[in-house]
Chains A and B, each alone.
Chain A
Amino acid sequence: GENVEQHPSTLSVQEGDSAVIKCTYSDSASNYFPWYKQELGKRPQLIIDIRSNVGEKKDQRIAVTLNKTAKHFSLHITETQPEDSAVYFCAANSLGVTGGGNKLTFGTGTQLKVEL
């Protein structure tokens, strides 16, 4: 099955700096890569996603890049703000693949702390 690794496990940045979180996946059939933000005790919230036919996607201060050859994808947050502090999870999903079952495999999470 799919295995997703995520680094770093914790990340502290100063307000206004950029933050980068990296993930690798093992299953070449995976074709959809969402990123979720989870605040303490709350549900994971989708913040951005990318499909395998695209190399980069941006939404305001958030961007995601995908390297299919190397099987890794990254989340970039620019101009970080204190409210960006949360746990971020990457995930990989095989969509529309026979037997893939549309399952999400999550990374281990990154605790991002944005300090004033």
Chain B
Amino acid sequence: GAVVSQHPSWVICKSGTSVKIECRSLDFQATTMFWYRQFPKQSLMLMATSNEGSKATYEQGVEKDKFLINHASLTLSTLTVTSAHPEDSSFYICSVPLRLADTQYFGPGTRLTVL
């Protein structure tokens, strides 16, 4: 399977600050990456599809101006949570598909806590 890393693994920030989360595909190039959010004891909800060299595609109900996604290279996608509030506290996970017709491999996740 693919090797996917995320940084940081956890972050605590004050309300109103912005937080950047990185997702890296370590052993292959990915034109597409996915960002999910998982609240405690709930399922994974797709937030957006990150597309290398073009704009991200956001799922319904996800504010694109609040969750900024940049996919500047074939191995790195970043998610920036802008003006974070306590309700943004969650587990953010990225995933990378090896090929279009293949499964997705997940990063280790980033635990965000907004005070």
Contacts and interface: CB of A to CB of B under 8 A. Distances in A.
Interface of A: 32, 34, 36, 41-46, 49, 89, 93, 95-96, 101-109
A95 B109 CA distance: 24
B54 interface: no
Contacts of A108: 42-43
Interface in B44-82: 44-46, 49, 57
- What bracket does the count of chain B residues touching chain A fall in? 20 to 34
9 contacts: A43-B93, A43-B106, A44-B93, A46-B105, A95-B101, A95-B102, A101-B49, A106-B45, A108-B42
Contacts of A106: 43-45
Nearest to B111: A41
A42 B108 contact: yes
A80 B57 CA distance: 40
A101 to B, nearest CB: 6
B103 interface: yes
A95 B34 CA distance: 15
Contacts of A34: 103-104
Given A102-B32, A106-B43, A49 B103 contact: yes
Report whether over half of chain B's contact residues are helix, strand or loop; otherwise say mixed. Answer: strand
A41 B9 CA distance: 10
Nearest to B104: A104
A32 to B, nearest CB: 7
Contact of A103 (B1, B49, B106, B107): B49
Given A42-B108, A103-B49, A96 B101 contact: yes
Contacts of B42: 108-109
A49 B1 CA distance: 13
Contacts of A44: 44, 93, 106
Contacts of A89: 43-44
